[in-house]
Amino acid sequence: MRPTAGTTLNSARKPQRSVLVALFGALVPLLAALTLMAPPAAARTEALPTATLTEVTGFGANPSNLQMYVYVPAAVTAHPAIVVAVHYCGGSGPAMYSGTEYASLADQLGFIVVYPSVTRASKCFDVSSPQALHRDGGSDPVGIKSMVDWVTATYAADTSRVYALGISSGAMMTNVLLGDYPDVFAAGAAFAGVPFGCFATTDGSEWNTACANGTVIQTPQQWGDLVRGADPGYTGPRPRMQLWHGTADDTLRYPNFGEEIKQWTNVLGVDQTPAATDSPVTGWTRTRYGATGDQAPVEAISLQGVTHNLYTYGMGARVLSFFGLTGGGTTPPPTTGPCKVTVTTSAWNTGLTASVTLTNTGSSPVNGWQLGFTLPAGQAVTNGWGATYAPASGAVTATNVSYDATIAPNASVTIGYQASHTGNSAAPTAYTLNGTSCTVG
């Protein structure tokens, strides 16, 4: 049983008054010193559990009521880098966490991942309002900046290594973040986005049809001025930008890719003529502007025949190489997986039938797919099932039909085609799923 206040006070009356006075006189300066040394309560922040996705509340200014999710790896480094991974329309922070590989890459490299999450009904980020398109304007970018500040304060993060990446709506927000806060972000990667300011509206609408359709065309200077106008007093260095887009994107159409290149080459003051052009993966065309290395000021990857749903596992390693977080300074080789293709053929004099089984060996569903392969010389597809095939010969892309568009983890779909041949009836030897190489066997 705890002693009552009266009991404590009565037992304290036994010492002589002079002793009490002396003790009190000694304690007062000691307590004052301890008070001065203790940090204010607001400055003390508890670290988060590691190796698990954790929601953080009360992280700072958050005018649009975003949610903040954070992944801290078990082997987080001292003064870690921060990667902000921004979800697509209809998504969420947890969906971005489970559907991309950045948490597992953080486990390897020790950086912290922030997953902002929209709470408005559309589940799309605000990339169109005047508030969103100005520094500290009072919309989503303010809340995301607060998330970065919270992680920086909690983990003494390296403020020179803060990065943003996003898919679709998140790609558009990546463009906005780099425009609004050029002093915060060192680089960004935008998968299927549009230029900063392209989606601007003044009527409260979240959608800009002209921009989505790729009909908003401006000069590099005009695009660059939009970015510079977001923080007009800023004169320091600008973040580098990596851009990804599929040529068959029918949601945010392909001309936006070229407009993004015009914008960021102008912002970064580099020539619009590529310093280097290559094809790191079949069907990809990569151009680099202002330099030829992995950390060029602007890097742009065009994916031939790929739709809006372009993101696949393996791209994350290329993003981190562009950011400079992989340490090796070289672009990783084309990633194999997470897919497997098994093919059997049956041939006769001038024709053949091929049965192709595509297995999702990854941990997330594939929602919409394109299987790329190159037919041997002399072969041409005459008909097919389970997919649409185009063109008939050479580098062929098989695109899902409505009933097999989704492939769950560890599930398979089987498609097939008939083809004519002039003597070589062999099956293709390599396949890519949405631009990423598959295991064949």
pLDDT at 241: 98
pLDDT at 327: 60
Nearest to 316 by CA among 432, 202, 406, 436: 436
Query: Which backbone phi and psi does 368 adopt, to 5 degrees?
Result: 90, 125
pLDDT at 46: 63
Please tell me the total number of residues recorded for the chain in this structure. Answer: 441
* Cα pseudo-dihedral 362, 367, 368, 371, rounded to 10: 10
Sheet holding 284-289, edge to edge: 53-56, 67-71, 112-117, 82-86, 162-167, 187-191, 240-246, 298-303, 284-289, 276-278
Spatial distance between the Cα atoms of 103 and 81, rounded to a whole number of angstroms: 13
Pair 86, 164: CB distance under 8 Å: yes
Spatial distance between the Cα atoms of 261 and 299, rounded to a whole number of angstroms: 9
The widest CA-to-CA distance across the chain, in whole angstroms, is 116
Q: Which residues of the chain have pLDDT under 70?
A: 1-46, 327-337
Question: Mind listing the pLDDT tens digit for each residue in 303-317?
Answer: 999 999 999 888 999
What's the one-letter identity of residue 383? N
Q: Is the peptide bond before 274 cis (omega within 30 degrees of 0)?
A: no
Nearest to 347 by CA among 430, 420, 440, 428: 420
Question: Mind listing the pLDDT tens digit for each residue in 178-233?
Answer: 999 999 999 999 999 999 999 999 998 999 999 999 999 999 999 999 999 999 99
Nearest to 320 by CA among 62, 103, 41: 103
168 is catalytic: yes
Of 168, 321, 425, 437, which residue is the catalytic one? Answer: 168
Spatial distance between the Cα atoms of 242 and 264, rounded to a whole number of angstroms: 9
Question: Mind listing the pLDDT tens digit for each residue in 235-280?
Answer: 999 999 999 999 999 999 999 999 999 999 999 999 999 999 999 8
